[in-house]
Structure 1
Amino acid sequence: MSGQFVTIDGPGGVGKSTVVAAVVDLLRAEGQSVLGTREPSNSPIGQLARHGTEEYRGMSMACLIAADRYRHVEQVIRPALARGEIVVCDRYIASSLVLQVMDGVPRDSVWELNRHADMPDLAVIINARVDAIEKRLGARGPHSRYEREPGGTERECGYYYEAARFLMTAGVPVMQLDASTADAEDVARAVVAGIKERWTKGRA
């Protein structure tokens, strides 16, 4: 299954990062060469975006995220794909179509900033019932201002459904999963099955 680019997005508290780690472990256990990465990236500009959510908002944050994404694609993702690795990225364009829109940037403007980035072979979007996510957030605490906003979880979940439809219309293969009751391992196994299915279709 070499040279595949898979992105995993979803609202804060849905268990996305845990799923990403489990997907990487499952693929490696099958003998696949896998790169697990994330956005914002670990580059200086990515760290500026990651730790600057309180300071940067709206278009300034959208541009910062997009700049980090283009660098991430050029410096990390493309080289890994060229080596024949499966790249599993924690957050990508779907998150921009949600968080930057929540920040007041029109969706078309967000898309225009990001549409020249490499599109994934499979964009996985994990969602869940609002009450299930809010329970998890209550247990671990909010990690960003998006998660602290009153009604933020409900808005974020709704925007991810919209982002999925938008990306599918743009021709991006999208896999939507519900983590309301499923644990991270079950969701991860479903993602791996989706990756294999895409690979099989690509070879047909």
Structure 2
Amino acid sequence: MSDRTSPESDRRSAQSSPRAGLFVVLEGGEGAGKTTQLSRLDQWLQQSGRSVVRTREPGGTQIGERIRTLVLDHGQGEVDPRTEALLMAAARAAHVEQRIRPALAQGAVVLCDRYIDSSLAYQGAGRGLGVEPVAQVNHWATDGLSPDLTVVLDVIPELSRQRRSDRDGGSAGDRIESAEDSFHATLRQAFLDRAAQAPERYLVLDASAPVEQIQQLIRDRVAAELGDHQ
């Protein structure tokens, strides 16, 4: 049986559907600095005259935001790993169909906070469901749409915990943020493993580096990607 969910097969499936825009995803553990980097990248691209659509997962659509609440908020009752993975995939299916593909077809640069790699890390590795079954579900949910570039902000669990505590005033955070350091260590390794499988499509950066240094490296890579897509 062929591996339909490998990085290379994802790329071939995505390329089979023509698109004019550029799809950039930022990934990484909690407190990696994705929001800060996305904000700065969004502003830079717009100042350069680019049409930009900035979005997030889970979320990005009305139904996606409802699912986000179900998955992340405390007080929703028990959410077992399989249900969590399927909810994430459902939100992603709506996101791709309703927002990402239309934006790409119009030539926009789509900047997304998390995508499939987060499900592979959080539910596949972190929750112990296995990367392969989670990849298969998400390949189907997105009809094979892969990012042109995935930036992984690599953050160690200790720094992740410190940043989350500073940001949230010492509160535990949502259901996923409040997990033990061992869970976040598993996530970190899963992101690194994923990037190692397709280094031409990933940019891994040290999240502890200065914000401006990280941003410049991201801009340099995005500029190169935009040049390739002219």
1:149 Cα shift? 1.8
Moved over 3 A (4+): none
Separation (CA, whole Å) in 2 of partners of 1:6 and 1:115: 17
**Corresponding residue for residue 26 of structure 2:** 8
Larger mean CA deviation between 60-69 and 144-153 belongs to: 144-153
Match of residue 68 from structure 2? 50
For structure 2, the residue ranges without an aligned partner over 5 or more in a row are 1-19
Based on CA coordinates, which of the two structures has the bigger radius of gyration? 2
TM-score, length-normalised on structure 1? 0.87
Q: What is the rounded CA distance, in whole Å, between the counterparts of 2:229 and 2:136 in structure 1? A: 28
Residue 26 of structure 1: how far off its partner (Å): 1.1
Number of residue pairs aligned between Structure 1 and Structure 2: 198
Q: Does structure 2 retain, via aligned residues, the 8 Å contact 1:134–1:153?
A: no
Structure 1 residue 109: Cα displacement: 0.7
Identical amino acids, percent of aligned pairs = 32
Counterpart position of 2:132: 108
Backbone CA RMSD of aligned residues: 2.0
Instruction: State whether residues 128 and 178 of structure 1, in contact with CA within 8 Å, keep that contact through their aligned partners in structure 2.
Output: yes
Match of 2:5 in 1: none
Contact 1:45 1:68 survives alignment (8 Å)? yes
Answer whether contact 1:59 1:105 (CA < 8 A) is retained.
yes
Matched with 2:194 is 163
Query: Is 1:144 paired with 2:162?
Result: no
TM-score (norm 2): 0.78
2:59 and 2:66 in contact (8 A); partners too = no
- Give the equivalent residue in structure 2 for 1:83: 106
Asked if residue 173 in structure 1 is aligned to residue 191 in structure 2, the reply is no
Distance in 1 (alpha carbons) for counterparts of 2:23 and 2:180: 34
Point out where structure 1 has 5 or more consecutive residues left out of the alignment: none
**C-alpha distance in structure 1 between counterparts of 2:33 and 2:173, whole Å:** 13
